[in-house]
Structure 1
Amino acid sequence: MSITTRAAVVESGGAPFTLADVQLDEPGPHEAVVRMVATGLCHTDLGVASGGLPFPLPGVLGHEGAGVVEAVGPAVTGVAPGDHVVLSFTSCGECRNCHGGHPAYCATWLPLNLIGGRRADGTSTINRDGTPLGGHFFGQSSFAEWALVDERSLVKVDPEVPLTSVAPLGCGVQTGVGAVWNVLKPTTGSTLVVLGAGAVGLSAVMAAALTSATRIVAVDRIGERLSLARDLGATHTVDAGTADLAEALAEITDGQGADGVVETTGNVGVLRQGVDALAARGTLVVVGAPPFGTEVALDVNGLLGGKRIVGLTLGDAETQSFIPALVRLVKDGRLPLHRLISTYPFAEIDQAVRDMGAGKAIKPVLTF
C-alpha cells in the first residue's frame, strides 16, 4: 500500500519548506505507518534545511512527531493500529551501546538519524513522482501528514494525553531533561547553571526543579525567557547581554562555582565560560551543536580540579522507558511543557520557522 501524502519538502540548502505531494514506500517488516497529529520544530531541522549538514536534499525533515498508528509491518510487536505514539530517534538495536541501554550512542546513529536520508539497507522511504527524496530523518521524517516510521523510533504513550502537548518530548525536551537527570544527577544542595533558555535549556530548568538542587541559574539574552525560566523553577537568572557572566556566577555561587552546567547555545565562547565557571569536580554537559569541525580552547590547568566535560546526544535516554515517564509528568502537571509550546497549522510551517528564528516562539508545534 503506497500512500500519497502532503509533506514539507526542502528542495536545497537554504530553501524554504514547501508543501508537496510525496509517496511513502511500503512499510518494511519493522516499520509502521503513522498518521501525524503534531510535530515539533527543532533547531536541528533548521540546521539541516540551511544546508549545514550533509543530509541529501531535496528531502523531508521533522523529528519530534506524535500521532496514531495506522498500519504496522509484519514483525512489529510493540505497537498496533490505533495506538498513540511519540516518535523519537532510531537505532540499530544490536550494537554494544544499544544493548547497554544507551541507544543515543548507537554505532550507526549518524547515518540512521541525521545524515543518511535512507534506511540502513540504502533504500528510500519517500519519493516524489518516482524520484527518491531524502527521508528516514530520525527514522520518521514527520513533517508530513503521514509518516513511515522505524519501529525503534516509536514509543507508545497514554492516549489520554493530547499528542500536541507531548510531541517535543522526542528530541528537545528529552535532551534537556536527560542532561540533568541522566548525566548531572544533581545531589542535595547542588548548583546548576543552564546556558541558553530555549526549549532545551528550559527543559533542563524544569528537570532541575524536580531534583534536590538548591540553586538553578538560567542564562540568556532575552528577558521574557528569563522570566519564564523563573516561573519554571530557576532560582536565579543572568542576562548575558548586560551582565558579566563570570562575575554573576561567582556572586550567585559565593565563589564556589557551579556543580553542573548545561550548555545549549552551541556558542564556543559560551561553552568556554561555562567550563571556567565549574566548581572543582563539576561537570559541563555539551548539548548545543555548532557546525561540524568547530573546536574550543580550554585552560588545561583549570581542568585539573576534577572538572568533567561530557558531550550529549538526546539526553542519553532509553526512549521506551524515559518518554512514557515524561508523558506522565506532563499529564500530572509536574512538567509544564505547555508553557514552551506555540501551535501552528502544518501549512504555516514557514511562519513557525520565522518565529523560532526571531525568538518569538520557544517550541513551535505543527498541528495536522
Structure 2
Amino acid sequence: MRTSVLLSRGTGPSEVVEAELDDPRPDEVIVRIEAVGVCHTDLVTRRALGDRPAVLGHEGCGVVERLGAGVGTLAVGDRVVLSFASCGACAQCRAGQPAYCGSANALNNSGARPDGSPTIRVDGEPVFGAFFGQSSFAEAAVVAARSCVRVGDLAPEIAAPLGCGFLTGAGAVLNALRPVPGDRLLVVGGGGVGAAAMLTALSEGVEVVVAEPVAARRELAGSLGAKAVASLDEPIPPVTHTLDTTGRPELIARVLDLLAPRGVLALVGLGPREATLDVRSLMLRGLQLRGCVEGDAEPAVLVPELARRYRDGRLPLDRLVTAYPLAEYDRAVADQRAGRVLKPVLVPSRPGCATRP
C-alpha cells in the first residue's frame, strides 16, 4: 500500500514523502490516520536515532481500512485510537498491566516487528517504523488489532492523545495515585500529560495545584479550576499526592519535602537515571515513591472511560489541543517548545487546517 509519511532524519527538517506499507499480518490492520498527537517521547526518540531515517508518531487515531485475515474484533470503518503495543500473553498483560509487558521493548522501540520485518519502506529501503507498534506520523499505519480501541464518533483531534499522553496523565491519577475528595494533588509540569492529570483529578473532586513556569499554561490551568504557581519555591499548601512529569532530580527531591506524611509521589517523566533523595525522610514520614508507565492503564478500559468523561463535559480535553497539517510538524514542535500551544495534533487529511490561537 502506498501512502505518505513524515520522515525524520537527525536534527534536520522533517519531510512528507511517499512510502510503502507492508501488508497486514493476520493479527494486524491498516488504519487510515485522521489525527496524531505529538509527544515528548517522539522528540527524545528522534534525537536518539541520530541520522537514521524514521517514521515516528504513537498517538494515532483513524479509521480501520483493511483487516488482517485473523482479525475478528474490528470492522472496516471503525474509528479507533491506537495505543502502545503489548503481547497480551505474558504475566503482566494477563494481570491487566500491558504497559509492563515482557516484550514491550521489542514491540514498541525496535523499529520493526519483533521478528525483524519492517512495516515501512521508503524508496524500497526499510526505515525505522512500528514505533509503539504504529508509526502514525503518516496517512496510514500498520498496527496490531490488539492496540486499537474503538471510540465511535469522538473527534479524532481529541481522541488521538488518548493513546499515550492523555492516557498517561489520567491513568496516573486514577490508577496509581488514586486521590479522593479532600486530598490535594500537586502536578509538576503543565504540559499535555500534566494537564490531562489535572483535568482528571478535578473531575474526581480533588483540589489541584499545578507548578509550571510557562505563563500561558498557568493561565489555562487557572481557567480550568486549578491553582497555578510558577515554581516550587512559591507558597504551596500541604499536598497529599504529587505527579512529576519532568523527570528532573532536583524537582523530585523538592516535591518529597512538600508531601504530607504518608503522601504519594508518582513519576512519569523520563529524566536522568540517578537522583539523590533523603531516604531517611522517605521512611520516617511514610512516603510512597513509585514509577508509572502509560498510566498503569489497560487502554481498552481507560480510553472509553476518558471518552465518556469528555462527552459528559467532565473532561474538557478540547481546551488542550491545537491542530496542524502533517507537513507542519516542525512548526508544531517549535510552537510547543515556545509555550504557544500545549498539545499539538497533526491532521494528515487536512493540508490547509489552521492552528487555534
TM over 0.5: yes
Distance in 1, Cα, partners of 2:181 & 2:337:
37
Residue 349 of structure 1: SS of its match in structure 2?
A: helix
Distance in 1, Cα, partners of 2:229 & 2:337:
22
Residue in 1 that maps onto 2:256 = 275
Residue 343 of structure 1: SS of its match in structure 2?
A: strand
Distance in 1, Cα, partners of 2:132 & 2:167:
14
Unaligned 5+ residue runs, structure 1?
Answer: none
Distance in 1, Cα, partners of 2:143 & 2:169:
24
Correspondence 1:147-226 to 2 at 5 A: 147-158=141-152, 160-213=153-206, 215-226=207-218
Residue in 2 that maps onto 1:36 = 33
Distance in 1, Cα, partners of 2:254 & 2:180:
23
Seq. identity, %: 44
* Conserved 8 A contact 1:193-1:261: yes
1:316 corresponds to 2:296: yes
Residue in 1 that maps onto 2:277 = 298
* Conserved 8 A contact 1:197-1:225: yes
Tell me how far 1:356 sits from its aligned partner.
1.3
1:233 corresponds to 2:230: no
Q: 2:23 aligns with which of 19, 23, 26?
A: 26
Structure 1 moving runs of 4+ over 4 Å: none
Distance in 2, Cα, partners of 1:181 & 1:307:
19
TM-score (norm 1): 0.91
Q: 1:338 aligns with which of 304, 315, 318?
A: 318
Tell me how far 1:207 sits from its aligned partner.
0.7
1:244 corresponds to 2:241: no
Distance in 2, Cα, partners of 1:75 & 1:233:
47
Residue 114 of structure 2: SS of its match in structure 1?
A: coil
Please give the root-mean-square deviation of Cα atoms over the aligned residues, in Å: 1.4
Q: Which amino acid aligns with 2:299?
A: T
* Conserved 8 A contact 1:55-1:134: no
Distance in 1, Cα, partners of 2:316 & 2:205:
18
Residue 128 of structure 2: SS of its match in structure 1?
A: coil
Distance in 2, Cα, partners of 1:56 & 1:266:
26
Tell me how far 1:56 sits from its aligned partner.
9.0
Distance in 2, Cα, partners of 1:276 & 1:107:
34
Distance in 1, Cα, partners of 2:44 & 2:5:
18
Q: 1:68 aligns with which of 63, 78, 91?
A: 63
- Provide Cα deviations, 1:212-243, integer angstroms capped at 9, x if missing partner: 32x31111111221121122231x22111xx6
Q: Which amino acid aligns with 2:230?
A: D
Residue 31 of structure 2: SS of its match in structure 1?
A: strand
Residue in 2 that maps onto 1:360 = 340
Change (3 A) 1:88 1:56: farther
Distance in 2, Cα, partners of 1:57 & 1:274:
38
Q: Which amino acid aligns with 1:34?
A: V
Distance in 2, Cα, partners of 1:186 & 1:56:
44
Tell me how far 1:55 sits from its aligned partner.
8.8
Tell me how far 1:16 sits from its aligned partner.
2.6
Residue 18 of structure 2: SS of its match in structure 1?
A: strand
